[in-house]
Amino acid sequence: MNNSSGSPLKAFIMWYRIREYRDADYSAVRMIYTSGFREHVGTVYLLALKQPWIQAMLCGLCLLIYFLTGSILTVILCVGGVMLAIRMAVQYIFEQGIQLGLREDLLDIRNSYMQPGSRSCFWVAELKGSIVGTVGILPCVEEPGAWELKRISVKKEFRGRGLAKDLCKSALEFVARHNVKRVVLFTSMVQTDAHKLYDRIGFKKEEEFVWPSLPARLINFMVFKYAHRNGVMSC
């Protein structure tokens, strides 16, 4: 498969192919998933800093330290230290999330997605022998009877050229062939490029909820559920 974008900003043709996963792709797939996930750390950190209770805590801390020491420099150092600690906490939670994915379906990709006769599959986008994008589909644990699109990620330098759209197209064609009527996916409030992709290929947001964990509740971290009803791409 190949793609050339119509946009003058992307005015070159990039030859790539979408193909099914092979064992040799294992490390590349896990690496693309990890880097795609990790790039949202900064946005989640800003989300944390926007929480009224965190802002109130930082203001209270400023006043308390100034009251105790009378030193602006000490105030700056302490507040800077607390902000750094918040950043490290967000990073730590992200790493836990990444490890979870790597221990779930991505631990044994062949077994999770590529069993003969199963209605699950994993695809990669290959460009000049390198893996630059991924997507998988498998029965949804949270919603029996539906299939879930997972692990959609494209290396940063190859974005905006239709790779994710083509990867999703392969997955949606696959489920249409298997007579699957409903495809869902879960994404978070910070994955805004992905929301545009999902809108573009015919998914509709159905639910929004705060991720059920204490750190997520503390920063009001929302997860969105999208659904695609007929398994046929709308573009």
Ligand X SMILES: CC(C)(COP(=O)(O)OP(=O)(O)OC[C@H]1O[C@@H](n2cnc3c(N)ncnc32)[C@H](O)[C@@H]1OP(=O)(O)O)[C@@H](O)C(=O)NCCC(=O)NCCS
For ligand X, the binding residues (CB under 6 A) are 36, 152-154, 159-165, 187, 191, 193-194, 196-197, 200
In terms of CB distance, is 87 or 159 closer to ligand X? 159
In terms of CB distance, is 65 or 216 closer to ligand X? 216
The amino acid sitting at 156 is: K
In angstroms, give the least distance from the CB of 232 to ligand X: 16
In terms of CB distance, is 159 or 178 closer to ligand X? 159
In terms of CB distance, is 120 or 187 closer to ligand X? 187
In terms of CB distance, is 34 or 66 closer to ligand X? 34
In angstroms, give the least distance from the CB of 116 to ligand X: 27
Q: Is 172 exposed, middle or buried (0-12, 13-18, 19+ CB in 10 A)?
A: buried
Nearest to 124 by CA among 102, 106, 99, 142: 106
In angstroms, give the least distance from the CB of 63 to ligand X: 39
Nearest to 35 by CA among 25, 24, 27: 27
In angstroms, give the least distance from the CB of 79 to ligand X: 31
Q: How far apart are CA 86 and CA 82, in angstroms?
A: 6
In angstroms, give the least distance from the CB of 3 to ligand X: 9
Q: Are 86 and 49 in contact (CB under 8 A)?
A: yes
In terms of CB distance, is 96 or 234 closer to ligand X? 234
Is the sign of the CA dihedral 38, 164, 178, 145 positive or negative? positive
Mark out the alpha helices in 104-148 (DSSP H runs): 109-113
Residues 6+ away with beta carbon under 8 Å from 222:
188, 189, 208, 209, 210, 211
The two tokens of residue 89 are 């906490």
Mark out the alpha helices in 70-191 (DSSP H runs): 72-103, 109-113, 163-177
In angstroms, give the least distance from the CB of 41 to ligand X: 12
